[in-house]
Structure 1
Amino acid sequence: MSPKTSDRVRTRGHRQWGDLLTPGRVIVGLLMVLALVFIFENTRSTEIRLLIPEVTMPLWLALLGTGVIGALCGAYFMKRRG
């Protein structure tokens, strides 16, 4: 077997780290970690008003909820686009 053939046989069906860890994925992962650190560092309670009711809740919960809503909206529009 030639080196090129053995490389193809070895990688068929198996992903390598280079395929999984692209620069874009690494950057998105780091941004997610930074966002989570920011969210969980802000633990004090705050008053939030959405249209009419005013609620008091931990700031981290409001930030996490906003992040989840933003991620869901982004995923929805990326799915529609493709």
Structure 2
Amino acid sequence: MTKTSDRSSGPKRSEIGGIPTRYIGIGVIVILAVWFLFANLDKVKIQFWVFTVTTPLWIALLATLVAGGALGWLLKGRRTR
């Protein structure tokens, strides 16, 4: 008995309205991140080892977001394929 594959002739990756779902997910995350940044406009004190910085919370959150994105981008090649 042989098994046959029932693959459709459609695209390999899923799409919604012709847009890959990966781009939709990235767009949703970016929109939520921007909304979260602008919802947190108060000033905060950030204590480092030697000095303290007073800055708006959105700048601290944006710096954390950028650092996390850069770290993810740098480490993505370390995954085994």
Q: Deviations over 1:25-55 (max 9, x none)?
A: 2012101110111011211100001222111
Following TM superposition, the consecutive aligned residue runs of length 4 or more in structure 1 with deviations greater than 4 angstroms are: none
1:28 alignment partner AA: I
What count of residue pairs does the alignment treat as equivalent?
64
Q: Which residue of 2 aligns with 1:79?
A: 77
1:23 alignment partner AA: T
* TM-score normalised according to structure 1 size: 0.68
**Bigger helix fraction:** 1
The answer for unaligned runs of 5 or more in structure 2 is 1-16
2:57 alignment partner AA: L
The answer for unaligned runs of 5 or more in structure 1 is 1-16
> In structure 1, how many angstroms separate the alpha carbons of the residues matched to 2:71 and 2:52?
25
Q: Which residue of 2 aligns with 1:54?
A: 52
* TM-score normalised according to structure 2 size: 0.69
1:52 counterpart SS class: coil
Deviation of 1:80 after TM superposition, in Å, equals: 4.1
1:79 alignment partner AA: G
Give identity over the alignment, percent.
34
> In structure 1, how many angstroms separate the alpha carbons of the residues matched to 2:20 and 2:71?
24
> In structure 1, how many angstroms separate the alpha carbons of the residues matched to 2:77 and 2:23?
18
2:64 alignment partner AA: T
The CA RMSD measured in Å over matched residues stands at 1.7
